[in-house]
Chains A and B, each alone.
Chain A
Amino acid sequence: EPEVTQTPSHQVTQMGQEVILRCVPISNHLYFYWYRQILGQKVEFLVSFYNNEISEKSEIFDDQFSVERPDGSNFTLKIRSTKLEDSAMYFCASSEGWGTEAFFGQGTRLTVV
């Protein structure tokens, strides 16, 4: 069964460092998303991506964040200069079409120290 895969499963980084979280969406999907969940809080939408551009982003997704689909298979989230409050579980998701079921990866736990 096709699935969304995320790497790494756990990333520890020092404050101020750049980090790239990687995702391989399901191959025929066209819409891609990043969500995050700070421990004990809600899962929050970060950004959606379609046709090689951002289609929607939340107020969390500031200039420190960027997304890219560099090679037609990977979908990455970059945080330029990490802060302690960026520590969270980051989920990637993809869907075949607008409003269709989103399939989620298992998440990357980011710990900023």
Chain B
Amino acid sequence: GNSVTQMEGPVTLSEEAFLTINCTYTATGYPSLFWYVQYPGEGLQLLLKATKADDKGSNKGFEATYRKETTSFHLEKGSVQVSDSAVYFCALTLNTDKLIFGTGTRLQVFP
């Protein structure tokens, strides 16, 4: 079936470090891919998305590229801030508006 696998957290970084959170997917067709972020005490917010192969989604300094050949959608940021501390969820949709999520990866950034 369709599924998303994320790297386990927590990911602990110092401010200004480079961030990668890995996400791979399994899908029977051509999904749309998403990253959602959940800040403490808040709901999930859409961070970025990509709807077809080789698309790059970007927002707030975060980027992710839809790689069909490796079935991946890794999240990257060149220089993280303390305010980026949150839980990040990779997700997909496929021919439906139902989101299929990964387990989430907690990011902790220290000054």
B82 within 8 Å of A (CB atoms): no
Residues from chain B with a CB closer than 8 A to the CB of A99 are 93, 97
B44 touches A104 (CB 8 A): yes
Residues from chain A with a CB closer than 8 A to the CB of B89 are 43
B residues 21-44 near A (Cβ < 8 Å) are 36, 41-44
B98 within 8 Å of A (CB atoms): yes
Q: Which of A33, A40, A45, A106 contacts B42 (CB 8 A)?
A: A106
Residues from chain A with a CB closer than 8 A to the CB of B66 are none
A102 touches B46 (CB 8 A): yes
Q: Mark A33-57, 1 if CB is under 8 A from B, else 0.
A: 1010100111111001000000010
Range of interface residues on A (Cβ < 8 Å): 20 to 34
B43 touches A43 (CB 8 A): no
Residues from chain B with a CB closer than 8 A to the CB of A105 are 43
A-B contact count (CB 8 A): 55
Q: How many residues of B contact A (CB 8 A)?
A: 20
**Interface residues of A, Cβ cutoff 8 Å to B:** 3-4, 6, 31, 33, 35, 37, 40-45, 48, 56, 91, 93, 95, 98-99, 101-107
**Interface residues of B, Cβ cutoff 8 Å to A:** 4, 36, 41-46, 89, 91, 93, 96-104
List, sorted by A's number, 30 A–B pairs whose CB atoms are closer than 8 Å. Answer: A31-B97, A33-B97, A33-B98, A37-B104, A42-B101, A42-B102, A43-B91, A43-B102, A43-B103, A44-B101, A45-B98, A45-B99, A48-B97, A48-B98, A56-B98, A91-B43, A91-B44, A93-B44, A95-B97, A99-B93, A99-B97, A102-B97, A103-B45, A104-B36, A104-B43, A104-B45, A105-B43, A106-B41, A106-B43, A107-B43
